[in-house]
Amino acid sequence: MPIRLLFRNLRAHPIRALLTAGSVAVAVFLVCILDATVRGFTAAVDLAAQNRLVVMSNVSLFVNLPLAYQQKISQVPGIAQTCKFQWFGGSFKQKKGGFFAQFAVDPENFQTTYPEVGIVDGSYEDFRRRRDGCVIGKDLAAQYGWKVGDTVPLVSALYPRGRDGEEAWTFNVCAVYEARVRSLDQMTMYFDHAYLMEALDLGAAQGQKGVGTYSIKLADGARAETVMAEVDALFAGGPQRVKTTTEAEFNRQFVSMMGNVPLLLRSIGGGVLFAIFFAVLNTMMMAGRERTRDVGIMKALGFSGGSIAALLVVEALLLALAGAGIGALLAKGVEGPVARVVSMWAPGFAIDDRVLLQGLSIAAVVGLVSGMLPGLRAARLLPVHALRQEA
């Protein structure tokens, strides 16, 4: 029956219980999202393909490598496949903030180099055949309402068309893909690099010739370090020196570009925790103070200080966990939309078990400590003081 007492005490002040649980819910919601975002930054590194390398200019990400390099690279032993990978920098002007990633690739080699791209609609064959074809991600298709067969106009900042650079490139949606691994986002468009070069050659557009990076798929049994060193040595004398890294390393540089943003997010999480800790503690101290007389009665009846403290601790824990549960559910509920918003920076954003567990544990700790403080006070209270009797 102490359990009944516990629930009665909670029900005696329903608004207070709700508000306290509510603030814990908010805090856990935030903590889960922040945590998932920070983890999402590095997911691309942690889950990078082990058997892929990236070749880029040693000087700058923004300098292209000559097209002729691809032939030479593919002749290095240990390489199963190479694929061009060029950032397009386009935007969809018809929709505000219409910003997503586009890459020009080799349709012939793309699928074998990136097997995690799974076609779920349309035809990859069409993509290989049509010069102006493209493959778009599921989430991208959903967000803009594009279907197989649609024409997508994009204006590129890196490859401007027309005199004022505002003329649009048109792409035909040939297929839709979904990601077979977590580190790949579903918001990207892939099209034919030859389409790009053709327009530059014809003078219809301006921009750097060549390719930003080449992706390499290692053959089975090949050693990454050996291949990396060989490719770098190939072009040591120029005209463009290269730097070959593992895909994980390549992704890491984008993460480190984040600089202090992860730290910032973590600090915010810390601040949130403090705010919530004080809030729950406040509630429990108030509850403890209000029940001073009850504590005195129970002690007079013979209940031990420990059992009375336990009641307060369990009460705080219940409030905290109830709030945490709601917060976790809310976080899970917005997982989809938030993942899409942050997919550019944190492709691995996911409210997974680890994130949820962390949120719940934090709430539990807050509850425990918030209950222990008034609990200790109650345990040490002398019945005579609690009942405030006259001499």
Partner 1 sequence: MTEPAISITHVTKTYQRGGETLRVLDELDLQILGGTFYALMGPSGSGKTTLLNLIGGLDHPDSGDVVVGGDSLTSMSAGELARWRADHVGFVFQGFNLLPVLTALENVELPLLLTPLKKAQRRAQAERALELVGLTDRMHHKPRELSGGQEQRVAIARAIAVDPAVVLADEPTGDLDRHTADQVLELLQRLNRELQKTILMVTHDPVAAGYAQKAIHLDKGKLGRIDDNRKATVTAGH
Partner 2 sequence: MASVPLSYNLRSLLVRRGATLLTVLSIAATVAVLAGVLCLQQGFATMQAEHGRDDLAVFLRPGANSEGESGMDLERAQILLKETPEVQKGTDGKPLAAAEMFLAVSLPKIDGGQTNVPIRGVQPATFAIHGDALKIIAGRNLTPGTDEIIVGTAIAERIQNCRIGDQLVLNVTPFQVVGIFEARGSYRCELWGDVDRMQHALQSPNFNRILAKLEPGRKAADLNERLKDDVRTPAKVQTEREYLIAQTGKLSGLLQFIGWFLAVVMGIAAVFTGTNAMLASIGARTREVGILLATGFRPFAVFRSFLFEAATLGLLGGLVGCVLVLPLDGMQTGTTNFDTFTDVAFAFRFTPRVLITAVVFALLLGLVGGALPALRAARLLPTQALRRT
Report which secondary-structure segment, H or E, holds 231.
helix 224-234
Distance CA(114)–CA(118), nearest Å, equals: 9
202 binds partner 1 (CB under 8 A): no
Binding residue for partner 2, selected from 148, 194, 234, 261, defined by CB under 8 A: 261
Looking at the Cβ atoms of 1 and 15, the one nearer to partner 2 is 15
First to last CA, the chain: 34
8-state DSSP, 352? -
Could you give the angle at the alpha carbon of 24 between the alpha carbons of 18 and 26, nearest 5°? 100
Min. distance of Cβ 115 from partner 2 in angstroms? 29
**Facing residues of 82 across strands?**
216
Looking at the Cβ atoms of 10 and 363, the one nearer to partner 1 is 10
Query: Which one-letter amino acid corresponds to residue 87?
Result: W
354 binds partner 1 (CB under 8 A): no
376 binds partner 2 (CB under 8 A): no
143 binds partner 1 (CB under 8 A): no
* Four-CA torsion 366, 335, 248, 353, nearest 10 degrees: 50
Interaction residues for partner 1, span 277-296 (CB under 8 A) = 293-294, 296
Looking at the Cβ atoms of 173 and 273, the one nearer to partner 2 is 273
Q: Pick the piece of the chain touching partner 2 (CB under 8 A) from 116-124, 175-183, 190-198, 204-212.
A: 204-212
Place of tokens 């505000």: 96
Report which secondary-structure segment, H or E, holds 266.
helix 261-290
Min. distance of Cβ 240 from partner 2 in angstroms? 6
Residue 188 · residue 347 · CB < 8 Å: no
389 binds partner 2 (CB under 8 A): no
- Report the partner that residue 120 touches, choosing among partner 1, partner 2, none (CB closer than 5 to 8 A by kind): none
Binding residue for partner 1, selected from 26, 284, 298, 316, defined by CB under 8 A: 298
Widest CA span of the chain, in angstroms? 104
26 binds partner 2 (CB under 8 A): yes
238 binds partner 1 (CB under 8 A): no
Binding residue for partner 1, selected from 71, 145, 302, 353, defined by CB under 8 A: 302
Looking at the Cβ atoms of 90 and 375, the one nearer to partner 1 is 375
Distance CA(167)–CA(186), nearest Å, equals: 27
Could you give the angle at the alpha carbon of 209 between the alpha carbons of 248 and 228, nearest 5°? 30
Min. distance of Cβ 5 from partner 1 in angstroms? 7
- Report the partner that residue 23 touches, choosing among partner 2, partner 1, none (CB closer than 5 to 8 A by kind): partner 2
Interaction residues for partner 2, span 212-241 (CB under 8 A) = 237-241
**Facing residues of 105 across strands?**
85, 192
| Assigned token pair, 130 | 């049509």
369-388 mask for partner 1 (x: CB under 8 A)? -------------xxx--x-
Binding residue for partner 1, selected from 52, 299, 348, 370, defined by CB under 8 A: 299
Looking at the Cβ atoms of 314 and 334, the one nearer to partner 1 is 314
Task: Note the Cα 300 to chain centre separation in Å.
Answer: 56
Report which secondary-structure segment, H or E, holds 244.
strand 242-246
Number of residues that bind partner 2 (CB under 8 A): 58
305 binds partner 1 (CB under 8 A): yes
Q: Is the peptide bond before 239 cis (omega within 30 degrees of 0)?
A: yes
89-118 mask for partner 2 (x: CB under 8 A)? x-----------------------------
Number of other CB atoms surrounding residue 240 within 10 Å: 16
Task: Note the Cα 226 to chain centre separation in Å.
Answer: 33
- Report the partner that residue 346 touches, choosing among partner 2, partner 1, none (CB closer than 5 to 8 A by kind): none
How does DSSP assign 17-72, residue by residue? HHHHHHHHHHHHHHHHHHHHHHHHHHHHHHT--TTEEEEEESS-TTSPBPTTHHHH
| Assigned token pair, 331 | 């976080």
Min. distance of Cβ 75 from partner 2 in angstroms? 22
369 binds partner 2 (CB under 8 A): no
202 binds partner 2 (CB under 8 A): no
186 binds partner 2 (CB under 8 A): no
Helix axes 305-333, 14-46, angle to 10 degrees: 50
For partner 1, the binding residues (CB under 8 A) are 1-2, 4-5, 8-9, 11-12, 293-294, 296-305, 382-384, 387, 389-391
